[in-house]
A and B are shown apart, each in its own frame.
Chain A
C-alpha cells in the first residue's frame, strides 16, 4: 500500500502566490505533471492528459502577471475535469466507446469560467461510463485505482477526479454528482467533495446522465478550496434555464464563522447498513461538533429510505431519453447496417457498456405506456415526499450528518457482478439529489485498513454557507486529531 502525495499547499495559497509573483504557474504545472508521470500509469485517473496545453496556459498566466495584468482568482491552480464536461476541440468521451474521438465544438460554461479565472486544465478524468456507477469500474477505458490502495476502487462515478486530487495530479478537480458521484469517491479517496444545491452551478456543457439530478461540484484538499471553487463557478448562466437566477454569497467568507449554536441533526430513522468503522467515525463527528458548541438534535426523514428505489426509476428514465441521441447519425460511433433502424441497434449495442444498457432499459420500461403510473409516476411522488420530509427536518436542524458511504474503499470486483450491491453505495447520498439540496463529504479520519472515511454534511436548499461552516469545523477537528496521532507533528 502506497500513500498518496500530501498536498503541498492549497489552491488559495497557489493563486495568491502566482498573483503576487512569488510562485510561477509554470513550476506549479511541472510539479503536477511530474506526479502524473510517476503514478498515473498505476492509477489511471485520466482519459487524457493535456500536458502541452497546461504548459502553454501556465506560460500565458506568468506572462500576464509579468505584464501587470490580473491573471484571475484561480491563477496557476491546476484542475482536472471529469470527462463528461465538454472541452472545445478536446476529446470528451464520458468513458464510453460511443463517444470515442468526439471533439465538442464548444466549452462547458464551467470550463470557460475556470479558464477565465486563470485555472489550468491538466486533463480529462476517467469515470463510470456516462457517470453510471460507484466504482469507476464501468469505464470503457479501464478502471481508475484508489491512490490510497491500488487494489481498491476510488469510488464513482467521478473516480478519476477524486483520484487526481488524492494523488496530487491536480490541485483540484471537478466532477458531477447525480446520486453521489462526487461525494462517495471523495470519501473513498480522502478528499473534500461537494454537490451544491441543484442549479447552483451551470450544467451547460455537462453531458447529461439524469438532467433533474446532475450537478457539478469540486474535489479539493481543503474545505476552503472547495468554497473558493464554488465562489468562482457558482451563479446564474443564461444558457442553463435551471441555473438559479441569483448571486450566491461568498462561501469562503461564510465558512469563517464557527458552529456554536448550530443545530446538527441526527437522522434517527436513517437506513442501516453502514460498516461499524464508518458509524464510529460519524459518532466522533457528532461529539466533535457538540464540543465546538453545536447542539445535536434528533430528526426523522422517513422517506429517506425510499430514495434509492425512486432514484433507480427517475435517473434511468431521464437517462433513457438523454442517451437516445447517441444513434450513430451525427457524431461518435456508427456501426453500418442494412437500414437506419438496424444501424441504430448495431451502433448502440456496440457503443454502450452493460450498465448503461441496463439503465436505458430500466428507464424505457419505467416510462412506457401502461407502466408510467406504477413506476415513474410513483417515483415522482416519492421524490416529493423526500423533499417534504427534508424540509420538515430542516425546521429542527440546520444541517444533517450522515455517513457519505456505507464503507471504506472496496476491492475491485467486490460488487462488479451485483448491481444492487453497487447501487447501495449511494444510499446516503441519493436523497439530497432527489430533493435538489446540497451535500458534501469531508474526510474525517480513517476506518478499516487505515482507509479514509468521509462524513456527509447535508443542508437545506441554498444553505451552503451553513454547510461549509460545519464542514470547516469537522476538517479542523480531523486535522487536530491527525496531528495528535502523529505526535503533534503535522
Chain B
C-alpha cells in the first residue's frame, strides 16, 4: 500500500491543518471574566466581553505564558509580536472585529514529529480571542440558513485561543489523525489546554488539495466543522475523492470553504473565495506590542515538562515494547507512564506492569505501585497464572490496594503444574471429541471450546497459555 492510501492512481493528497485550541486560563484574553465552559449562558461577561462602547482590552499574562509554552513545545521561534483587528460583522462577535495576530505572530517556524517519524512543519501558532456561541433554532443541522431565531451565548467571547497552523506536510488521512492526536497529547501534557474536541476546546479545520507528483499543488478547499479525530480522516478522504472526481471529470476545483456533514459523510459548499469577507486587518490601536523578554522565554522553555514523544520512548525503553505500540501509546496518552515506571522502580516487572495499567486503569491509578509490583512478580515467577493475576488485579483496584499474595491465597490461587494441565486437557478432549476433531481440521474456534472446558474443570486455575500450547502440541503430534 502506498503512503497515499485511499487515493486512486498516482494522486497525492496534500493537507495542512489549522487547529484552534482554547487556553486553560483562569480568565479571558482581554478581561477579568472567568474562562469557564458549561456555565449558565451570558454570565461570564463584562464591558470588554460585551464590546460595550469605551471598554478596552488588557492582555492576559497567563494566556501569553501558555501560548509561549505551546510555541516552545512545537519547536517554534518565540518572537516580539503585535495584535491586529480582523473586521467582520456577526451577531456573536460583539465588537464586530476579532483581536488576532496577523503578520507578526508570537510563535513561528516550528515542527511536530508524528509517532511514525513524519515531521510536520508548524508555520505559526498565534494568539486570538474566541467569538461567542450562536445556537440557530428552527433550521436544519444547526445552521443559520432557514433558522427562525438564534440564541447567543457570550461566555465564550474573549476566551483565549491559540491557532496552530501546520505547513501542508500531511499526505494521508492517517497522518492527519496522528497529527491531531499528537498535538492534543502535547497540549494536555503542558497544561495549555484540555483540548477536548467534543467540547470545542480544540477545533480542527483542514486545507485539502490533490495533485500528481511533479506537478504544481492543486487548488485547496478548507473543510470546517470537523468535530472528532475520526471525522478528520473521513472528511479528508471524502474531500480528496471529490476533488479527484472533479478533475478526472474534466472540471476544476474551486477554492472554497466547505462544511463537513457528519450525518451524510460529505462536504458541502459554505462559501467560495469570491464571497470571502475582506477582513480589513489593521494594527489594534488599543494594545501595545508584546515583546517577551529573553529571560521569560528561557524560563518557559526550561519549565516545559517531558513531552509525549519522549515519554513514549522512555516507557518503551523500560518495558521493551515499541514506542508506537498500542499499549505504550495509550498509557502515555492517559498520563500513566510515570505509574508504570513506579511499578518497575518498586521491583515489579515493567512489561507486565504496562499491560496491567493499560487493561485495568481507565484513569489515574489509586493503587500503590508497590502493590502492583508484587503482583507482576507473582505472575512472572509462575506463582499464579495470568488469568488469576487478572482477578487479583481487579480486586486490588476495587479495594484501592492491598497484599496481592494474600488476595491470591484467599482465592486459593496456586500454579497448576504441567502434568495437572495435561490431565485436564485429556479430560476435555474426551468430553467433547467433536471439538477436538474440528480443531484438528483447522477450526480455530473449536480451540476456544476446549480451553473453556479446561478452565471450567480447573476452576480457572489453569494457565490459558499453557492449555493452548498443550492443544497445539497434541495437534501437531496427532497430524
Contacts and interface: CB of A to CB of B under 8 A. Distances in A.
Interface of A: 85-86, 92, 94, 99, 102, 104-106, 108, 203-208, 210-212, 238-242, 317-318, 320-321, 324-325, 327, 329-331, 340-341, 344, 364, 367-369, 372, 376
B85 A321 contact: yes
Interface in B331-357: none
Contacts of A242: 56, 285-288
27 contacts: A86-B52, A86-B53, A86-B54, A99-B53, A104-B47, A104-B54, A204-B56, A211-B286, A240-B56, A241-B58, A241-B287, A242-B285, A242-B286, A321-B87, A321-B282, A324-B89, A324-B96, A325-B94, A325-B96, A327-B91, A329-B152, A330-B50, A331-B52, A364-B280, A367-B87, A368-B278, A372-B280
A367 B87 CA distance: 10
Contacts of B96: 321, 324-325, 327
B80 to A, nearest CB: 16
B97 interface: yes
Contacts of A318: 282, 285
B54 A208 contact: yes
A325 B59 contact: no
A325 B91 CA distance: 10
Interface of A (DSSP majority class): loop
B168 interface: no
Given A242-B288, A340-B91, A321 B280 contact: yes
B89 A204 contact: no
A376 B282 contact: yes
Contacts of A327: 89, 91, 96
Contacts of B47: 104-106
Given A211-B285, A317-B282, A324-B95, A205 B89 contact: no
B86 to A, nearest CB: 10
Contacts of A239: 56, 58
Contacts of B94: 325, 329-330
Contacts of B54: 85-86, 104, 108, 203-208
B55 interface: yes
Given A324-B87, A329-B152, A369-B280, 15 more contacts: A86-B53, A99-B53, A104-B53, A105-B47, A106-B47, A106-B55, A205-B54, A207-B53, A208-B286, A238-B58, A318-B282, A321-B96, A321-B282, A330-B94, A367-B281
B51 interface: yes
Contact of B53 (A320, A325, A368): A325
A278 to B, nearest CB: 32
Contacts of B57: 241
Nearest to B279: A369
A320 B87 CA distance: 9
Interface of B: 47, 50-59, 85, 87, 89, 91, 94-97, 152, 278, 280-282, 285-288
Highest count of chain B CB atoms <10 Å: which of A329, A344, A376: A329
B91 A329 contact: yes
Contacts of B53: 86, 92, 94, 99, 102, 104, 207-208, 325
Contacts of A367: 87, 280-282
Nearest to A199: B288
A344 B152 CA distance: 16
A325 B288 contact: no
A204 B287 CA distance: 12
Contacts of A329: 91, 94, 152
B97 A321 contact: yes
Nearest to B50: A330
Ranked nearest first, the 9 interchain pairs of A and B with the lowest CB-CB distance are A324-B96, A212-B285, A367-B280, A211-B285, A207-B53, A205-B54, A86-B54, A207-B54, A369-B278
B381 to A, nearest CB: 66
B196 to A, nearest CB: 29
A340 B286 CA distance: 28
Contacts of B282: 317-318, 321, 367, 376
Highest count of chain A CB atoms <10 Å: which of B47, B51, B54, B285: B54
B62 to A, nearest CB: 15
B427 to A, nearest CB: 78
Nearest to B154: A330
B187 to A, nearest CB: 27
A376 B282 CA distance: 9
Contacts of B85: 321
Given A105-B47, A241-B58, A241-B59, A324 B97 contact: yes
A241 B278 contact: no
A325 B95 contact: yes
A10 to B, nearest CB: 30
A220 B53 CA distance: 27
Contacts of A317: 282
